[in-house]
Structure 1
Amino acid sequence: MDTSDYIASAAVVIAFCALAVSIWQGYVMRLHQKLSVKPHIDIDYKFFPGKPIEIRMLNNGVGPAIIKSFKVLYDGKSISENQTDAYLKVLKELKTDTELEFKYEYNFPLKNEALSSGENEYLLQVELVGEYDESATSRAKSSLSRIGFKTEYECMYGNKFVHNMPLLFSNN
């Protein structure tokens, strides 16, 4: 073998190394792109004395969350496939448990609804009727702690995620 053969062989090895690095870089870049649109659903509640109790769904991720399924749970179990019935059953239990008068609003995300990054949407708002009473508010909070939510959602690439919160918050 003379010198030109060695140079040609080295060029072939360098070309294969460049090809391998390019393939690896493409793979890593694709993973990065998927992570750059990954949603992260969370359920949050706001409880301030004298104000309505609010339960909200929010997307803390960097990409939109496409809702595929949303269920209201009570004591960790799905109540009904019909979400309106589920909320009404939960509110009936709340009224029975606490013997309180309250106003409420509820909302539930629909299938294939998108929740943008940073967006939040209220799920349930309960306002006790009458003057502020710490005991009544505590009973309402205790009863509401039995509510939970299960959300199945996807990112823009079709990767599936589940957020399961069987109980909203502890009675502490």
Structure 2
Amino acid sequence: MDANSVTAICATVIAVASLVVSITEARASRRHNFQSVRPLLSLDCLRLNSGLAGIRIRNAGLGPAIIRATTLYFDGEEVGPWEKQVVDPLRDTFAAWPNFSTLRPGKPIPVGQELMILAVEDYDRTRDAEFWAAVTQRIRIHVQYESIYGNERQGAWFEGSPAYRKELPWQGRNDAGSSMDDNAQTEPSQSL
């Protein structure tokens, strides 16, 4: 073997090693980019001293969450998507008409945003007892969302308040919401 052959073999080995390092680096960079914009939605029930009470959704992740699908369950039965025409008949049953925000497919929830999706602004224990019972015990919501890359569908559940929670058909899954109760004291949340 002469010097030219050794030089050619060494150059080939170096080129292949460089290609492997470049591919590995590109994959690591791509994985980092996906993780750097990953959303994390949580849903919880909330009742503040200021009088605001209801269901809140918030994005505690690193990137915007794009809503893909929502499902409302009432007393364990699937009602439909979390949209005005589905939720309005439920809103009619309460003493005070609660405010409502829709979660339409394609709607982005920016990083750090909190949105009350069903709430009364001036909560009264007597007048709104049925509303609070529905929020903590009867209403369940499943939200499917993804990052701006659209490559990974995730889910978040609203299951009421742990203090009021009954055995539900979907318990035991890894995806769940968290809850807040009187005076905005936080209950431990389960990770998605």
Alignment TM-score, normalising by the size of structure 2:
0.71
In structure 2, distance between residues paired with 1:118 and 1:141: 26
**Residue 11 of structure 2 aligns with which residue?**
11
Aligned length: 163
Q: Give unmatched runs, 5+ long, in structure 1.
A: 96-100
| Matched-pair contact (CA < 8 Å) for 1:147–1:167 | yes
Assess if the C-alpha contact under 8 Å between 2:45 and 2:56 holds in 1: yes
**Equivalent in the alignment of 2:78:** 78
SS in 2 for 1:5: helix
Please identify which structure carries the higher helix content: 1
Among 121, 134, 143, the residue aligned to 2:134: 143
| 1:121 equivalent in structure 2 | 115
Note the residue ranges of structure 2 that are not aligned, 5 or more in a row.
166-192
Letter in 2 for 1:57: I
Task: Provide the alpha-carbon RMSD of the alignment.
Answer: 2.6
CA distance 1:11–1:50, shift in 2 (3 Å)? closer
Secondary structure at the counterpart of residue 104 of structure 2 = coil
Match of 1:111 in 2: 105
Structure-2 change in CA distance of 1:128 and 1:139 (3 Å): farther
Cα distance in structure 2, aligned partners of 1:125 and 1:81? 18
Q: Deviations over 1:80-129 (max 9, x none)?
A: 34722432343355x4xxxxx33411111222111111112210103567
1:102-158 superposed Cα distances (whole Å, 9 cap, x missing partner): 3411111222111111112210103567xx54x776664333221111112221111
Aligned residue runs from structure 1 range 52-71, under 5 A:
52-71=52-71
SS of residue in 1 equivalent to 2:98: strand
Percentage identity across paired residues of the two chains: 24
Structure 2 match to 1:98: none
Question: TM-score of the superposition, structure 1-length normalised?
Answer: 0.78
Matched residues in 1 for 2:43 and 2:5: separation?
66
The 2-side partners of 1:62 and 1:81 are apart by 26
Q: How does 1:132-171 map to 2 (within 5 A)?
A: 132-133=124-125, 140-145=131-136, 146-165=138-157, 167-170=159-162, 171=164
